[in-house]
Structure 1
Amino acid sequence: MRNLPTDLLRTFVTVVDSGGFTAAAQQLGRSQPAISLQLKRLQDLVGQKLLARNGLPIELNSQGQLLYQYAKQILALNDQALAQFETTAIIGKIHFGIPSEFATTLLPKIVGRFVRAYPNITLEVTSALSKELLADQKRGQFDLILALHDDPASAGANLVKEEELVWVGNGRENLEQLPQLPLIVAPDGCVYRGRALRSLQASGQPWRVVYTNPDWSGITAAIDEGLGVTPLAKSTVPENLKILKAGGALPELGRVGVSLTRPRGRHTEATQLLADFVSASLTLTR
């Protein structure tokens, strides 16, 4: 009777979910050769090749897709079973404030792992502009806040990383032929909007705001339709949009700071665990 070791299955799932061996090695705290060896052991065990290609992104063949579904179920049951016998289970509810573009790109990477590891912690997520999340009248509502800072130094000890800002479009623009650069931005108070307008003014590039929306899904839909371009933190660019090379009509945008803030009196063990998860995920993104 053969058994499927959960450590091999977890490595396999992590390689698929993270999109490559290097990212999986970083997440699991192992070397890339060790990850490759574990995947080879799993393929030898099932007697099937699992990958259609080893490049980026990772692509599964039909056998790999089948095993991936089984592996997700097996690991979920494994984690649930262990959680039932955890005598030091951490219980809590965390109200997490986060900009909407990070909620779209960052949360899917961490929520699943976090909830599986700590099933007794409940996450309540609110998306808004960083300015709103950090406002005195609102910040006290949150246990943890992820926010952007126009000046990274202003984040102080709460700074997690600096993010490069890039121009984003649908990849079919012909900006050099337009008399004015069409901008799609959030309302006043958005860090991205302020940086874009200052950079355009400094470069002398004519521009006009063609669409304003506080909702990230509305902004991405407008970009996908070709209405204009927007500035964005590089690590949050969705797969359906393209990073546009700076130059000509598109001035350099520089960098912003990303912080994690825990309002006074909110330093619980559960909040610290989530902060560690988020910080690690931000560090791994480029």
Structure 2
Amino acid sequence: MTKYPRHLIESFMTFATLGNVVNAADTLGISQPALSRQLQQLEDLVGEKLFQKHGRQKVLSPIGQELFSRITPTWLNYDPLVDSVIAKFKDSPQNPLRIYGPAEILNKVALHIEFPHQLIFTPTRSQSVSTKVVGEEISLGITRLPPDNLQVTAKVLFKEGFQYIFPAKWKITPTTELRLLKKLETYPLVSYGEDFNFPEEIWSKFELGPAPRLIRVLPNWDVLQTMVENGLGWGIAPSNLIKKSPKILSQDVSADLMPHVTYHLLYKKDLIRIPWFKSLVNELLDTYK
């Protein structure tokens, strides 16, 4: 039970809005004496004078005026709030829906989902995805850094390992990981530097010589694979982003050297109750099954 009963607040706000007891009582559907008693009850609960006499008229006191001004924004402007809630549960979204995440993953998702309404795929670094999802009314995010936020659900989208990729024309036969690295150490290295810099700990774990010469830090995985296909270097790439090509060979990186990365689908918990939103979430999760 609240300290100040809602029907007393409603009577106060109706009187303060209309300015007289007659109209307020008529609007509330109660008698004038009943309204006067409710206003007196509220004043007694507050312990301060909310009303005063101006001639023969009952008007708000300075404290009553302050109380009215504080309550008014939420009391009188609830229509947009109601509309926004109802809009969520309509058969389709009322506005375009944004999906945030790494560009390469968004590209794959965009090709496989059949959601019939407008989606805006917005490339975003993993570090920023959760902030976007929390800050917007309706959106989804894909990230390897799930937030510690009770408002957000983080569903596992997929787990991925990594592979060494190198030009087929180098004629290096895949073998044990140690032997492969010994063969690759004399060749130039290309890397995607945004999130996955080359792990120098691999070199130190096998007690190899100096780390390979890094010649390029690239803006995306497609460019990295193209450089490898053209024989300009070798690299390490996420398994799910490597496109089949006769120009490259690949071999798994052991999980103890580069642990698998888990990507999560993020969304606000309450949104899953919306039928069309739940359908979209399930479709996204099915993309990587």
TM-score, normalising length from structure 1? Answer: 0.50
Q: Distance in 2 between matches of 1:145 and 1:98?
A: 6
Name which of 135, 139, 143 aligns with 1:143. Answer: 139
| Residue matched to 2:213 | 208
Equivalent residue letter for 1:126? T
Q: Percent of counterpart pairs with the same letter?
A: 13
Q: Conserved in 2, the CA contact under 8 Å of 1:193 and 1:231?
A: no
Distance in 2, Cα, partners of 1:129 & 1:171: 32
Report if the CA contact (8 A) 1:143-1:266 is conserved.
no
Contact 1:143 1:271 (C-alpha < 8 Å) held by counterparts: no
Query: How much has 1:218 moved relative to structure 2?
Result: 2.4
Report whether the alignment pairs 1:126 with 2:122: yes
Paired AA for residue 215 in structure 2: V
Select the residue among 105, 110, 130 that pairs with 1:107: 110
Q: Separation in 2 of the partners of 1:97 and 1:180?
A: 39
Shift of 1:170: 3.5
Alignment partner, residue 90 of structure 1: 92
Q: 1: CA distance between counterparts of 2:280 and 2:271?
A: 12
Shift of 1:237: 1.6
Instruction: Indicate conservation of the 8 Å contact 2:164/2:253, yes or no.
Output: no
Task: Work out the CA distance in 2 between the residues paired with 1:156 and 1:123.
Answer: 20
Residue 97 of structure 1: SS of its match in structure 2? strand
Cα displacement (A) at 1:228: 2.2
Shift of 1:277: 1.0
Supply the AA of the counterpart residue of 2:127. Answer: K
Deviations 1:77-102 (CA, angstroms, capped at 9, x unpaired): xxxxxxxxxxx742342111122222
Please state whether the residue corresponding to 2:162 is helix, strand or coil: strand
Q: Is the 8 Å Cα contact of residues 98 and 147 (structure 1) preserved in structure 2?
A: yes
User: Following the alignment from structure 1 to structure 2, what is the Cα–Cα distance between the partners of residues 247 and 124?
Assistant: 34
1:183 alignment partner, one of 186, 189, 192: 189
The whole-number CA distance in structure 2 between the counterparts of 1:138 and 1:91 is 16
Residue 230 in 1 paired to residue 235 in 2? Answer: yes
Unaligned runs of 5+ in 1: 1-87
Counterpart among 166, 169, 173 of residue 172 in structure 1: 169
Q: Give the number of aligned pairs.
A: 180
From the superposition, tell whether residues 266 and 157 of structure 1 become closer, same or farther in structure 2 (CA, over 3 Å). Answer: closer
From the superposition, tell whether residues 159 and 218 of structure 1 become closer, same or farther in structure 2 (CA, over 3 Å): same
Instruction: Report deviation, 1:146.
Output: 1.2
TM-score (norm 2): 0.50
Given that residues 91 and 275 in structure 2 are in contact (C-alpha distance below 8 angstroms), is that contact kept between their aligned partners in structure 1? no
Kindly name which structure, 1 or 2, has the bigger radius of gyration based on alpha carbons: 2
What is the rounded CA distance, in whole Å, between the counterparts of 1:263 and 1:156 in structure 2? 6
> What's the Cα RMSD here?
3.7
The AA in structure 2 aligned to 1:172 is K
Per-residue deviation at 1:180? 4.2
**Deviation (angstroms), 1:140:** 3.2
Deviations 1:239-263 (A, max 9, x none): 2364522489xx9533111111115
Match of 2:26 in 1: none
Q: Secondary structure at the match of 2:243?
A: coil
Structure 2 equivalent of residue 26 of structure 1? none
- CA drift of 1:210 comes to 1.6
> What is the alpha-carbon distance in structure 1 between the residues aligned to residue 112 and residue 225 of structure 2?
20
SS in 1 for 2:168: coil
Q: Distance in 2 between matches of 1:259 and 1:217?
A: 22
Relative to structure 1, the CA distance from residue 166 to residue 217 in structure 2 (aligned partners, 3 Å threshold; closer, same or farther) is closer
Is 1:199–2:202 an aligned residue pair?
Answer: yes
SS at match of 2:92: coil
Distance 1:108 1:157, change over 3 A: closer
Equivalent pair of 1:182/1:207 in contact (CA under 8 Å): yes
For 2:169, the aligned partner's letter is: R
